[in-house]
Amino acid sequence: MRPTLSWTPTGQPAPRTTELGEVVRKVGAGDVVVLSGAGLSTESGIPDYRGNEGSLRRHTPMTYQEFVADEEGRRRYWARSHLGWRSIARARPNTGHRAVAALRKHGYLSGIITQNVDGLHQAAGATDVIELHGNLDRVVCLACRRTSSREILDARLRAANPSFAAEATRLNPDGDVDLPDDVVHGFRLVPCADCEAGALKPDVVFFGENVPRPRVDECRRLVDNASALLVLGSSLTVMSGLRFVRQAARAGTPVLIVNHDRTRGDAHALLRVDLPLGRALTEIAKRLGCRLSTP
């Protein structure tokens, strides 16, 4: 199963605007659920998948099927991710993340669902974030299913590959970087430290893998009870996020999108605000009297 790289627009696009008045009114009413995507983290230096500079224009992410079936595929992933994770770990929340955290703290948001795996919502101070696709800071064993810290794995991989040296270039939103095959070839994998046999995988949902059902059900409950759904920086190309937009639209719940480009969910949206996310969210928070935390 290959990643969904594109979609064909159908139906009428959502009305495009650069005005924030309607978004401020809807958020100000409270009980709004945020659904965030990779576009929210681009101002933190993490690229998105499908924008003008999106990584899918030059990079095909690892699929779950390839990862579990092929040791060489796992070697390629971990060599590249070993370097890329360091850049993800150094990333800091931007003003958009801090604005979302402030809106949550002041009671305007009833929940935050993120498709991102970088943990930047929580780093900005947001609470009760549902990580739809998991988090790169955790690792899971495919045999015993125990989870562990990515920092611990990083230290183990460094010890197993003392002479591994490569420069991280072209960071991808799934946490890896582009590396030539000859650099990847000699990279040594390490097994699970608990069962000492199982293959390790980042605790994230790969392309071709299903989001755990309890997590989906929790998101559905949030959307069911929301006064509005606010989509931030997601193209909504994949069904994992689009289904919540469709759910809201079926229930008559307003969907508002802040995104530079047209999205797959536009046909279900009340409007799409075409503004940089950090600027737009900071202004929304300001108009509602929310003070952003300091960087």
- Torsion angle, CA of 252/253/254/258, rounded to 10 degrees? -130
Q: What are the per-10-residue average pLDDT scores of the chain (295 residues)?
A: 57 87 98 97 83 51 90 92 86 97 98 96 97 96 96 95 73 72 87 95 93 97 98 94 97 97 94 97 98 85
Asked whether residue 212 is marked as a ligand-binding residue, the answer is no
pTM of the model: 0.91
Q: What is the mean pLDDT of the chain?
A: 90
Task: List own/partner pairs for 50-57 with CB under 8 A and 24 or more apart.
Answer: 50/5, 50/6, 50/235, 50/237, 50/261, 51/260, 51/261, 55/170, 55/172, 55/173, 55/174, 56/3, 56/5
Asked whether residue 118 is marked as a ligand-binding residue, the answer is yes
The neighbouring-strand residues paired with 112 are 34, 129
Q: Which domains, from first to last, does the chain contain? A: 11-46+94-133+211-295 (3.40.50.1220), 55-90+136-204 (3.30.1600)
**What's the confidence (pLDDT) of residue 75?**
93
Q: Which two tokens stand for residue 194?
A: 């608990």
For the stretch 85-130, pLDDT in tens is 888 888 999 999 999 999 999 999 999 999 999 999 999 999 999 9
**What's the confidence (pLDDT) of residue 183?**
79
Asked whether residue 48 is marked as a ligand-binding residue, the answer is yes
Catalytic residues: 133
Asked whether residue 42 is marked as a ligand-binding residue, the answer is yes
**What's the confidence (pLDDT) of residue 56?**
47
